[in-house]
Structure 1
Amino acid sequence: MNKIKHLLHSYSEWIKAVLAPLGPWGMLAFAAVDGSFMGLPLDAIFVGYVYHDRSRFWLYILLGATGSALGSIVLYVIGYTGGEVLLRKRLSPERFEKIHASFDKHEFWALMFPAMLPPPTPFKIVVLAAAAFEMRFTHFLLAIFAGRFVRFLIEALLTLAFGPQIVGLVGGLFRHHLKWILAGVALLAVVWLIWWRRRKPAANSTNKNAAEEDDPALRSKQTLIS
């Protein structure tokens, strides 16, 4: 285990050395490559940038989210042209239909939530699915940007408050308890949707009553009736 950690640390340090000449733009380039086809230690690199340049953590959040969205265009093209065939080969029929149904109901959230979660979330599978199910391109980019923005914001705040090691601890929790965490996220999403749907009719009713009170004609009509 220690040997694996040492190898990952050495790999991350080598990547940092390669990206160093690019300055902050290295975060954009690294996130774009990670979002396209290669699985890279994105969180470790992002945390390194934030920890060593605290005053510009907002810049790294924006660059990381933008790079991830731009890099995912490669997977969008692949998924749009032949993603369904690829997904059917890699996923069971039940899993394929479940993902398809989630995009039919709430395509934006079906992509944004996985974009927020760290590995081992099968994010690239979800990206391919979004393209295969013909998600609108602008919504596709916005969902990935929003999800990554939230993820990097949380990681940056944790790093600034507790140091870079806290992100590794949280990542370990995800790796060992992914199913429970996903179940919790799904439960929160359902609760939020129920609250939002109940709130909408109530808000419409309130607005309607306010409009009636402000309408002189309606007030005079109600007075005559009474």
Structure 2
Amino acid sequence: MDAIKHILSRYTAFLWALLKPLGAWGVFAIAALDGGFVGLPMDPIVASYVYTDRARFLLYVFMAAAGSSLGSLVIYAIGYEGGEELLRKRIAPERFAKIHAAFDKHPFWALMFPAMLPPPTPFKLFVLAAAVSEMSFVRFLLAVFSGRVVRFLALAVLTLKFGPDVVRLTGDLFRRHYYWGLVAVLVGLMVWLVIRRKKRKTVESTEASK
């Protein structure tokens, strides 16, 4: 395990040295590659940019979210052209049915929620599922971008407060307590949705009474 961590650390350092001169476009490029092809150490790279250029942390957050959104279009295109068979090969029938039902009922949230979460969340499977369910192009981009903004903004805030080592600490914690983390995020999202719905009803009732 230590050997694997050492290899990943050196790989991340190599990517950081390669991308650092590119500035915000380096974040965009690695996010696009991560979203559309192989998984790359996105969190350490984004954290490094944020920590070394604290004044522009929001720029790195949005560039990472934009790159990830555009990169995901590669997976979206594959899924749209016949990804159902590929998706069925990768997950159990029961899980396929649950994911498909989620996209039928709440397509935006079914994609935004996993987009918010760090690895080991199988985000590309949800991108495939979105394409298989024929989610609209605009809604797809908005869902991925919104979820990625939440994810990278949280990462940036933690990095500014605790330093870049927070990536390793939170990553280990999330992997050890993956399902509890999912439950916590899901509960928070549900509470936010309930509050939002109540506010909307209050506004509608106020306007109706005028």
TM-score under structure 2 normalisation? 0.94
Cα separation, 2, equivalents of 1:73 and 1:170:
28
Q: Is 1:12 matched with 2:12?
A: yes
- In the other structure, the counterpart of 1:160 is 160
- In the other structure, the counterpart of 2:35 is 35
Letter in 2 for 1:84: E
**CA positional deviation for 1:205:** 2.2
Task: Give CA-to-partner distance per residue, 1:125-165, whole Å, 9 cap, x none.
Answer: 00111111111101111111111111111111111111111
- In the other structure, the counterpart of 2:188 is 188
- In the other structure, the counterpart of 1:206 is 206
DSSP 3-state at the match of 2:19: helix
- In the other structure, the counterpart of 2:117 is 117
**Number of equivalenced pairs:** 210
Letter in 1 for 2:37: F
Cα separation, 1, equivalents of 2:185 and 2:23:
35
- In the other structure, the counterpart of 2:177 is 177
Letter in 1 for 2:31: A
Cα separation, 2, equivalents of 1:195 and 1:28:
34
Mapping 1:1-150, distance limit 5 Å: 1-150=1-150
Cα separation, 1, equivalents of 2:94 and 2:45:
36
Distance 1:197 1:25, change over 3 A: closer
Distance 1:53 1:99, change over 3 A: same
Q: Percent sequence identity over matched residues?
A: 59
**CA positional deviation for 1:198:** 4.3
Runs of 5+ in structure 1 lacking a partner? 212-226
Cα separation, 1, equivalents of 2:4 and 2:173:
18
**CA positional deviation for 1:199:** 4.3
TM-score under structure 1 normalisation? 0.88
Cα separation, 1, equivalents of 2:154 and 2:187:
20
Distance 1:92 1:8, change over 3 A: same
Cα separation, 2, equivalents of 1:117 and 1:89:
23
Cα separation, 2, equivalents of 1:35 and 1:109:
19
**CA positional deviation for 1:68:** 0.2
Task: Give CA-to-partner distance per residue, 1:39-87, whole Å, 9 cap, x none.
Answer: 0000011111111111211111111011000101100100101111111
**CA positional deviation for 1:200:** 3.7
Letter in 2 for 1:206: T
Cα separation, 1, equivalents of 2:56 and 2:200:
39
Cα separation, 2, equivalents of 1:138 and 1:207:
30
Cα separation, 1, equivalents of 2:10 and 2:192:
42
Cα separation, 1, equivalents of 2:80 and 2:120:
24
Distance 1:204 1:123, change over 3 A: same
Bigger Cα displacement from structure 2, 51-60 vs 40-49: 51-60
DSSP 3-state at the match of 2:40: coil
